[in-house]
Structures are given as structure tokens and as C-alpha cells.
Amino acid sequence: MTPEVWVLAACTALFALRVAGQVVVVLWAPGWLPAMKHWYSGLMPYRYLLPAQLVLLTLMVLITYDTYRMAGFFAAGGWAAAATPLKVAGVLYFAAMAARYVLTMAFIPERRWLKQTIPIWFHMVLATALWTFGHVHSP
């Protein structure tokens, strides 16, 4: 497997764990996992967030699988034109989340260090996957 496939697989696995963790917390609220308020920002009601996350996770699995076997829709040559925009979007997305984390630490000290920052970290995971997908298709 190429390094890019490993990165895509790691990002997909981490995001799957995040989605699964949220579901476990919603259904059973075990004491060994952070409370629900730590898992998402609340900008989108969870009844809409979960389906969106499942669609995104499905796309990530398909992208990773196609990249691994170097065949299929997400491995086709037609993505070359999108490579640079995907990489730029990935860098900007990651930078925005890094800035969000720094600002959160500076202005909302009660959230230090991992309290209510799980969404930020997982947006960084998604940004990394986005950049990597663009990198795979770079000429």
C-alpha cells in the first residue's frame, strides 16, 4: 500500500471511531467516554449530524478503497483537475481548525485541552483526508 492509502485509511478509521463513539454516548452514556457536549459543537442538531457523518464516512471508505485498488470512480484520471483545489481546500480547512483550536484555548480556557475540542481535532482529520485525496491525483 502507498503512504497515501495508509493516510486515507487512518483518517477513515479515526472518523469511524468518532462517529461510533458519538453513537455509544448518545445511546448509553458510558462514564469512560466524554459526555455528548464534548463530541460536537451543537451547530447542527444530532439527528441531522449523524446521517451527514455516515454519508461522509461512506465516501471516505469508497475513496480509500478505490485508491487502494487503483480502480473505480475515485481513482479515475478525471480527478487531476481537482487535485490542486482539493489540496488548497485541505490546507485552508486544516489551518482554520488549527486557528479555531488556538482561539478556543485562548478565549475559552475551561475547554482546555480536550474538553469540547473533539470536533476540532476531527475536522483536522477530515482536512488531512481531503489534502491526501488531492495529493493522490496531483500530476
Spell out the per-residue pLDDT of the chain, length 139, in tens.
Answer: 999 999 999 999 999 999 999 999 999 999 999 888 888 888 899 999 999 999 999 999 999 999 999 999 999 889 999 999 999 999 999 999 999 999 999 998 887 766 788 999 999 999 999 999 999 999 8
Q: Which pLDDT score is estimated for 139? A: 85
Q: Which pLDDT score is estimated for 112? A: 73
| CA dihedral sign, ordered 58, 62, 63, 65 | positive
Q: Which pLDDT score is estimated for 119? A: 92
Domain that holds residue 67: 3-136
Q: Which pLDDT score is estimated for 8? A: 98
46 in Cβ contact with 40 (< 8 Å): yes
The Cα–Cα gap between 33 and 35 comes to 6
User: Which of 8, 14, 17, 18 lies closest to 128, judged by CA?
Assistant: 8
CB-CB neighbours of 7 under 10 Å: 19
Which residues 6+ apart lie within 8 Å of 99 measured at CB?
Answer: none
Q: What total of structural domains would you count in the chain?
A: 1
Q: Which pLDDT score is estimated for 125? A: 98
Q: Which pLDDT score is estimated for 87? A: 98
Backbone phi and psi for residue 118, each to the nearest 5 degrees, phi listed first: -55, -45
Q: Which pLDDT score is estimated for 109? A: 83
